Amino acid sequence: MALADIFTRPNPVAGAGASTPRGFGARPAVDGDELRALIDWVDEIAALTKPDRIHWVDGSRAENDALLREMVDEGKLIKLNPEWRPGSYLARSHPSDVARTEGRTFIASEREEDAGPTNNWIAPDEIRGTITPLFDGSMRGRTMYVVPFSMGAVGGPLSHIGVQVTDSAYAVASIGIMTRVGTAVLEEIAAGKPWVKTVHSVGAPLEPGQADEAWPCNDEKYIVHFPETLEVWSFGSGYGGNAILAKKCFALRIASVIGRDEGWLAEHMLLIRVIDPKGKAYHVAAAFPSACGKTNLAMLRPTIPGWKVETLGDDIAWLRPGEDGRLWAINPEAGFFGVAPGTGESTNVTAVETLWGNTIFTNVALRPDGDVWWEGLTDEAPAELTDWQGNAWTPDSGRPAAHPNSRFTVSAGQCPQIADDWDAPEGVPLDAILFGGRRATNVPLVVEATDWTHGVFIGSNISSEKTAAQEGTVGELRRDPFAMLPFCGYNMADYFGHWLKVGQKLRFDRAPRVFQVNWFRKGADGRFLWPGFGDNSRVIDWIIRRIDGEVGAVDSPIGRLPKLEDLNLDGIEVPASDLDELFAVDPALWLSEADLTEEFYRTFEGKVPAPLYAELAALRYRLKLAQPAA
């Protein structure tokens, strides 16, 4: 490979523009058919989108520095005061572009039933007919960046690669943090490894002489996935999961389809290593919906003595059955795109320490001293701030200073409790899988599934109150099976079936044990019954002692509950009445939940696997037995 033999060039297709001004950004020298196919594809996208320049991203430090400097010069990033926050920047998005747009997210499979009732399906030809004209000339006046990236360690057995073309320098800088970007990936492409094609445009072409916006975007948005041809096309948004296509679009929606075909699972899960006081290590993955506590649990600092947690991942895990009958997991990402509000010294001090520098903040507030702030960072708000929209703010302003879905983007390696081997290509064997959500009522602090199938049943039934990471009304309950509702790239009923199949490949005594957790149950007075955060280690402690067979459990109609005396509550005051409420299972309310489950399963028109209907029938039977006699 002669990848080092680089040369700069203008965009020959658009016919305009100078060659890249610096010593990087050049197209790799063509060597072999595989790389030729990539270059042809890039030329094809350039012919359509008509950028002024093409910049091949090599992932170098110098390139990143130059990109950031350019964005500061253009007013797209604010450089934070290096005294407080070295190497860090603030981006303010357009107020209409602050979260993923699920309503504009499409699965364009050939057959509608392959997308299923929980996805927005659209016929591939039809949507190509809609978006092709939008992409036509959409990069005029801009640079088109070509970003080769790897999800998982480059060359790893569980890793997958892709290329994103984008006209957003902010997206390039973010992808550089969130994935492994660079020339090594081109070498893999050259060697014939399959890659996923992702195309992103903010949809804001510039006429000659037209001044750019700080956050260019388009009111019309399309985030379209083509699972059969392994492509993603995203138009109109510069935000998070809409723009960092390696993340939700590739590593969940497209990867879930690849996983279905290859026998593995792409999941919306954090990944941690828990080390008990005896020094024994366990691996736990947990699926919670957006803004429901994954980053927090991923960076848990146990409040019980002797326990330690090491971070492996905070948002996505790929799970694959191993030859040994265990389920192995990697975190395919390389950084954290975390929710800022609610991240503070008392909740997630590890995240606060992770953010010491080299961080891109989006939509948080700016302090007069050039540092950042958001609700929950400190108990008291600074007297004066500039809010996320650039307006003057004081604690009396009556509105949040940071957007509720404001975020930080930072390298995983900066986390002070990251596991040494967090990017080991082969991953880690799982001991437990947790499912959870935000449930003010009904769902106990922790319940253990009786076996894998019951665990899949529980996963298929996760529901959660909406947060600012989703469109719609915050607090409204919605069903979010496996926390994958917006992220499953195929029919969710087939996905339930795939989970059951993966279970059959595991050795029954080596499969991870499945638990449901709920940190968010509230008392009648509206306060959280459980202290949460670092004290969630008390729940993990019980889970691990269950796995090791050290403690028993109480059977309930919905699964196994802890015996209260087995919970380590040393050092915290949880009133006995709160504990009772935390674990209360009301058969009548659960029977209504079972009705909702049936209603939900029926929307899949007979596709939900029979074992899950059997679980539902068994649940109803147990609930009826548990009902007090009339």
Q: How far apart are CA 128 and CA 147, in angstroms?
A: 23
Q: Is 290 in the site for ligand SPV (CB under 6 A)?
A: yes
Residue among 100, 140, 326, 546 that touches ligand SPV (CB under 6 A): 100
User: Minimal CB distance to ligand GTP: which residue?
Assistant: 342
Query: Considering beta carbons, is residue 290 or 363 the nearer one to ligand GTP?
Result: 290
Which residue among 138, 295, 362, 597 contacts ligand GTP (CB under 6 A)?
Answer: 295
Q: Minimum CB separation from ligand GTP for residue 385, in Å?
A: 19
Answer whether 346's CB lies under 8 Å from 287's CB: no
Instruction: Establish if 315 lies at the interface with Mn ion (CB under 5 A).
Output: yes
> What's the rounded Cα separation, in Å, for the pair 13 and 285?
47
Which of 184, 132, 190, 143 minimizes the C-alpha distance to 165? 143
Pairing, β 265-267 against β 281-287: unpaired
Q: Which listed residue (89, 215, 233, 288) binds ligand GTP by CB under 6 A?
A: 288
Query: Scanning the structure block, which residue is given the tokens 């649990």?
Result: 297
As measured in angstroms, the least distance from the Cβ of 294 to ligand GTP is 3
Helix (H, G, I), strand (E, B) or coil at 34: helix
Binding of residue 121 to ligand GTP (CB under 6 A): no
Q: How far is the CB of 449 from ligand SPV (least distance, A)?
A: 24
Does residue 170 contact residue 142 with C-beta atoms inside 8 Å?
no
Contacting ligand SPV (CB under 6 A), which of 233, 337, 520, 601?
Answer: 337
Using alpha carbons only, what angle is made at residue 86 by residues 80 and 90, rounded to the nearest 5 degrees?
Answer: 30
Out of 469, 485, 492, 558, point to the residue binding ligand SPV (CB under 6 A): 469
Q: What are phi and psi of 490, to 5 degrees?
A: -145, -175
In the range 461-480, which residues lie near ligand GTP by CB under 6 A? Answer: 469
Instruction: Mark the segment that binds Mn ion (CB under 5 A) among 152-160, 301-309, 310-318, 533-541.
Output: 310-318
Q: Pick the closer one to Mn ion by CB: 164 or 290.
A: 290
Question: Which of 337, 71, 62, 354 shows the shortest CA–CA distance to 178?
Answer: 337
What's the angle, vertex CA 98, arms to CA 95 and CA 101, rounded to 5?
Answer: 120
Which among ligand SPV, Mn ion, ligand GTP, none contacts residue 296 (Cβ within 5 to 8 A by kind)?
Answer: ligand GTP
Answer yes or no: 292 catalytic: yes
Size of the site for ligand GTP (CB under 6 A): 22
Query: Which of positions 196-255 make contact with ligand SPV (CB under 6 A)?
Result: 240-241, 247-248
Say whether residue 315 binds ligand GTP (CB under 6 A). Answer: yes
CB of 7 to ligand GTP, least distance (A): 40
**113 phi and psi angles, rounded to 5 deg:** -70, -15
Of 221, 247, 251, the closest CA to residue 236 belongs to: 221
> At 53, which helix (H) or strand (E)?
strand 53-56
Q: How far is CA 601 from the centre of its chain?
A: 25
Q: Which of residues 546-575 bind Mn ion (CB under 5 A)?
A: none
291 makes contact with ligand GTP (CB under 6 A): yes
Residue 408 or 601: the one with the smaller Cβ distance to ligand GTP is 408
d(C-alpha 348, C-alpha 353), whole Å: 9
Question: What residues between 158 and 187 interact with ligand SPV by CB under 6 A?
Answer: none
d(CA 385, CA 394): 6
In terms of Cα–Cα distance, which of 435, 457, 428, 188 is closest to 320?
A: 428
**Toward ligand GTP, which CB reaches closer, 341 or 512?**
341
> Which are the catalytic amino acids?
292
Give the binding site for ligand SPV (CB under 6 A): 100, 240-241, 247-248, 290, 315, 337, 469
